[in-house]
Amino acid sequence: MIAEDAGDGAAARCAIRVYRFGGAAGTGVAGGVDDGDGGAGGIYYRRLEILNSAAVAALVLLVVKPEEVFDTSSQLSFLAIGYIGGVAVPWIERHVQPFIGALHGSRDVPLDGAFSARQAQFRLDLRAVAAVMTSRLSA
């Protein structure tokens, strides 16, 4: 399907596809964005920034179909991408990732000293909840 003939953000999907594969994928093929393969970021062992992808998609959309810029659905889509890439992902990396790292070997009590105080407390609470659930389920 040619991106100019398709509606509802096909040009943006095409732009992201071309950007993700370094221009190697078909230039007029509109493909899905959520295929989860990592694109060029996985090939070059670097993180593909979502905001950079959205900016490239917006520029291509502006060139291919300028009237789409004023469409409410396009604006809300880019707003959602901006929020996810600019607010949600950094917040998760800053506040959730340390606790995910603390889950490693959570049953080994001697490892608690290797973590920060909050992570060690999280490990203690996790073991306490596991003990309560085990006792309630076995009774």
For residue range 40-86, list pLDDT tens digits in order. 444 444 456 788 888 888 899 889 998 988 899 989 999 998 888 88
Integer Cα distance of 99 and 104 in angstroms? 9
Res. 125 pLDDT band, cuts 50 70 90 = very high
Report whether pLDDT(129) > 90.
yes
Integer Cα distance of 116 and 9 in angstroms? 46
For 104-125, give one letter per residue: b (16+ CB within 10 A) or e. eeeeeeeebeebeeebeebbee
* Mean pLDDT for the chain overall: 74
Contact between residue 90 and residue 47 where contact means Cβ atoms under 8 Å apart:
no
* 70 or 36, greater pLDDT: 70
Report whether pLDDT(133) > 90.
yes
Which residues make Cβ contacts (< 8 Å) with residue 41, sequence separation at least 6? 20, 47, 48
pTM tops 0.75, yes or no: no
